[in-house]
Amino acid sequence: MENPYVPNMATIIGLKEEVKGERAIKTFRVRFNDAELADSFDYIPGQCGMVTLLGKGECFFAISCSPTKKGYLEFSIMRLGKVTRALHELEVDETVGVRGPYGNGFPVDEWKGKNILCIGGGIGQAPLRSLIQYVMDNRKDYGKLDVIYGARSTADLCFMGELEEMEKRDDVDVHLSIDNEEEGWTRFVGFVPTNLTRIAPSPENTIAITCGPPIMIKFVIQALEKLGFTPDQIFTTLEMRMKCGIGKCGRCNIGNVYVCKDGPVFSWDVLKDVKGEM
Amino acid sequence: MDAVLKKDRLDELITKLGYEVIAPVRKGTTVSFETVSKASDIAWDYANSVVPPKKIFFPQTEELFAFDGKTIAERTPETIKRMVLGIRPCDARSFAILDPLFTKDFKDPYYIRRRENTVLVGLACAIPGRNCFCTSLGAGPFDTTGLDLLLVDMGDRFLVRSVTEKGKTLLTENEELFEEATDEAGTADEIRERAESAIKRTVDVSGLPEKLKTLFDHPVWEDMAQTCLGCYNCTYLCPTCHCFDIQDEVRGRKGRRIRVWDSCSNPEYTLHGSGYNPRPGRKNRMRNRILHKYQYYPDNFGVIACVGCGRCASNCPVGLSIVEELSTLGGI
């Protein structure tokens, strides 16, 4: 019987400091030590992995790269608690464990032919990055790609190098924002939902996917509905405290729905009727 | 198929069949499930154990694997054959309720291996406990759900009722231990009727899962939570509560990853790394505990996650009773 609690060991093959300071974010690129697994491990954008640091514990993170990138996985992790603080101490060539993939992921096949509108805030961009990379790597399968992304300050913006590269391309529109004025910032200043309302993307043949702090998600959904998006055009991906990642340990439920296995991706059409604490 | 097991043959049942036998044992003023080596170790006259026998398949603390530096040492699968002897029907039923959780989607090897290697020999209840309400949940003192065999105590002998193939096989493979039943079934029926009528606590749960769907925002949760101390007794001692935490224990380079029982009544249970807590108040947590058992679990697995054992009520330091809570909710 396969044991779902035992992680597969992997080596950190790349590290990128996305955000420095108290709320530091690093992207860990890891490769499974088992070469066969490293090459065969497949997943859907938006799926997650349980990342282990033996002796410290494990945490559930979205895989922040796309399955079109072969041979490695990336996790973009904010330094917050015991495990993530210890993870941030690690260097290239050090060992972590990964189990997964978990959760449902984005229904990218159903979205073929549609415009994709990603609305992210802070570290909430991590699962959206997987989707954005996937759409970019399968560009002809999708319509217009819009990336709305914001953070508290320029120092908190994640994946900035990549986003600036994307700004130069003509097959994706990137709309960045920070919450408060900063010298030298020429893009939008204000909250993400405000930026969304200002840009006012058309709901026609479009799927909107949002991820960020719970309060941002709430106001983004309100803004989308005002723009004419119907609940089945709106998706979000949620996070909850998790231990097992496989629907047994109990804690990540919203009503009868378990974020780890029934989510983390939910259509607003389903989620709006779920009675439970988010 | 009914048979009879004379009590003077119990020692043979315990020692000669090759099982590790786990049975109710008196410890001070309480009874708990422990490994026994002889019949005289067993407390047959108990109402129920304080800690439910779920610990046999889902221990309070369990090593998932050990590690040394960066190397994981997986545990060798347990192959030991166990017999749980004298388990109450409500507790056996809890396994039937928990089985789909541990076997569906991702299989939990720790629970499943022990469950598969164990035969459950129940003990029908002649004198129910004061907080028992199993009959309200479609079960009863002689319920056989989850059991392989059911024993009915008749003084110097047990009537042995086989329930599953596993149970039948135990009887046929060891037929020298058992005798044919004669008029025991009639006496057993009388014991059952007396036991059923001795259960005084009842609650109507028909339609409750659907009803609860309309009560999420009702102020009643605030009132109910006022009395709760948030001590987690009700969850730890519940035979169907399955929540757990996973932690690493380390000494030098060596360590082990363990899972330990956790409780949805624990405020840290849902606390995010960011400090955000989706269930910050006792109201949220009490509501989740009750809805999980009587609404979410039925939604997900088609069965109410409660066996009516009454442990939560018997062990609540402030006297909260699930029967009263359910009656209140049902009456809104």
Q: What is the pLDDT of residues B254-264, one digit of tens each?
A: 999 999 999 99
Identify the helix (H) or strand (E) that includes residue B99: helix B89-103
CB contact under 8 A, A246 and B106: yes
Same domain, B125 and B258: no
A24 inside 8 A of chain B by CB: no
DSSP B28: T
Same domain, A191 and A126: yes
Contact B184, B152 (CB under 8 A): yes
Q: Of A40, A71, A102, which one is at a domain's C-terminal end?
A: A102
The tokens describing B248, both together, are 């690493």
CATH code of A29's domain: 2.40.30.10
Same domain, A234 and A121: yes
- Backbone phi and psi for residue B110, each to the nearest 5 degrees, phi listed first: -65, -50
Same domain, B164 and B229: no
- Of B315, B314, B317, B313, nearest to B325 by C-alpha is B313
Distance between CA B72 and CA B63 in Å, rounded? 12
Distance between CA A84 and CA B162 in Å, rounded? 53
Would A69 be classed as within a structural domain?
A: yes
Q: How confident is the model at residue B273 (pLDDT cuts 50, 70, 90)?
A: confident
Please determine, for residue B302, whether its predicted confidence score (pLDDT) is greater than 90. Answer: yes
Same domain, B87 and B149: yes
Q: How confident is the model over B160-208, as pLDDT tens digits?
A: 999 999 999 999 999 999 999 888 889 999 999 999 999 999 999 999 9
CB contact under 8 A, A240 and B65: no
* Average per-residue pLDDT for chain A: 96
Please determine, for residue A1, whether its predicted confidence score (pLDDT) is greater than 80. Answer: no
Would B203 be classed as within a structural domain?
A: no
Minimal Cβ distance to B105: which of A1, A241, A261: A261
Would A276 be classed as within a structural domain?
A: no
pLDDT for B111 equals: 96
CB contact under 8 A, A54 and B112: no
Beta strand pairing call for B157-162 and B149-153: antiparallel
pLDDT for A278 equals: 83
Minimal Cβ distance to B248: which of A1, A6, A57: A57
Same domain, B214 and B164: no
Q: What is the number of structural domains in chain B?
A: 2
- What chain A residue is nearest to B256 in terms of C-alpha separation? A55
- Cβ-proximal residues to B297 (8 Å cutoff; 6+ apart), any chain: A256, B97, B240, B303, B304, B305
Same domain, B72 and B92: yes
Would B130 be classed as within a structural domain?
A: yes
pLDDT for B98 equals: 97
Beta strand pairing call for A145-151 and B61-68: unpaired
pLDDT for A276 equals: 87
Same domain, A53 and A154: no
Would A109 be classed as within a structural domain?
A: no
Instruction: Write out the residue range of the structural domain in which residue A48 sits.
Output: 8-102
Distance between CA A123 and CA A64 in Å, rounded? 10
Q: How confident is the model over B134-153, as pLDDT tens digits?
A: 999 999 999 999 999 999 99
Residues in B closer than 8 angstroms to A56, CB to CB, are: 248
Minimal Cβ distance to A249: which of B67, B213, B243: B243
Name the 3-class secondary structure at A16: strand
Same domain, A178 and A78: no
CB contact under 8 A, B273 and A84: yes
* Average per-residue pLDDT for chain B: 95
- Cβ-proximal residues to B274 (8 Å cutoff; 6+ apart), any chain: A80, A213
pLDDT for A2 equals: 87
Alpha-carbon radius of gyration of chain A: 18
Q: Of A77, A102, A127, which one is at a domain's C-terminal end?
A: A102
Same domain, A172 and A95: no
Q: Of B148, B180, B198, which one is at a domain's C-terminal end?
A: B198
Residues in A closer than 8 angstroms to B296, CB to CB, are: 253, 255-256
Q: Of B147, B177, B198, which one is at a domain's C-terminal end?
A: B198
CB contact under 8 A, A4 and B274: no
Beta strand pairing call for A48-53 and A57-62: antiparallel
Residues in A closer than 8 angstroms to B74, CB to CB, are: 3, 6
- Tally of CB atoms within 10 A around B25: 18
Please determine, for residue B242, whether its predicted confidence score (pLDDT) is greater than 90. Answer: yes
Q: What is the mean pLDDT of residues B112-134?
A: 96
Amino acid (1-letter code) at residue A146: D
Would A110 be classed as within a structural domain?
A: no
CA torsion through residues B62, B66, B69, B71, sign: negative
The tokens describing B86, both together, are 């004298």
Please determine, for residue B79, whether its predicted confidence score (pLDDT) is greater than 90. Answer: no
Question: Could you tell me how many CB contacts below 8 A there are between chain A and chain B?
Answer: 121
pLDDT for B148 equals: 98
For residues B62-73, b (16+ Cβ closer than 10 Å) or e, as one string?
bebbbbeebebe
Q: What is the mean pLDDT of residues B219-242?
A: 94
DSSP codes, A113-167: TSEEEEEEEGGGHHHHHHHHHHHHHTGGGS--EEEEEEESSGGG-SSHHHHHHHH
Same domain, B142 and B228: no
Same domain, B191 and B213: no
DSSP A217: H
DSSP codes, A43-59: --TT-EEEEEETTTEEE
Contact A242, A260 (CB under 8 A): yes
Q: What is the mean pLDDT of residues A201-217?
A: 96
Q: Of A102, A130, A152, which one is at a domain's C-terminal end?
A: A102
pLDDT for A60 equals: 96
Would A222 be classed as within a structural domain?
A: yes
Same domain, A216 and A252: yes
Q: Of B198, B231, B259, which one is at a domain's C-terminal end?
A: B198
Name the 3-class secondary structure at A275: coil
CB contact under 8 A, A277 and B65: no
Q: How confident is the model over A108-162, as pLDDT tens digits?
A: 999 999 999 999 999 999 999 999 999 999 999 999 999 999 999 999 999 999 9
Distance between CA B99 and CA B266 in Å, rounded? 25
Distance from CA of A111 to the nearest CA of B (A): 26
- Of B281, B172, B151, B166, nearest to B225 by C-alpha is B281
Q: Which residue has the tokens 């009516």?
A: B308
DSSP A63: B
Same domain, B9 and B102: yes
- Cβ-proximal residues to A215 (8 Å cutoff; 6+ apart), any chain: none
Same domain, B25 and B78: yes
Q: What is the number of structural domains in chain A?
A: 2
Same domain, A218 and A80: no
Same domain, A98 and A156: no
Amino acid (1-letter code) at residue B39: A
Contact A66, A73 (CB under 8 A): no
pLDDT for B185 equals: 87
Please determine, for residue A197, whether its predicted confidence score (pLDDT) is greater than 80. Answer: yes
- Tally of CB atoms within 10 A around A178: 21
Same domain, A89 and A142: no
Same domain, A28 and A143: no
A5 inside 8 A of chain B by CB: yes
pLDDT for A246 equals: 96
Instruction: Write out the residue range of the structural domain in which residue B157 sits.
Output: 2-198
Amino acid (1-letter code) at residue A128: L
CA dihedral B99, B100, B102, B105 (to 10 degrees): 160
Taking the model in full, what pTM does it have? 0.93
Same domain, B37 and B170: yes
Would B145 be classed as within a structural domain?
A: yes
Contact A130, A105 (CB under 8 A): no
Same domain, B156 and B104: yes
CATH code of A212's domain: 3.40.50.80
Same domain, A40 and A162: no
Q: What is the mean pLDDT of residues A62-70?
A: 97
Q: What is the mean pLDDT of residues A13-40?
A: 95
Would A134 be classed as within a structural domain?
A: yes
What is the ipTM for the molecules in this complex?
0.92
Same domain, B45 and B171: yes
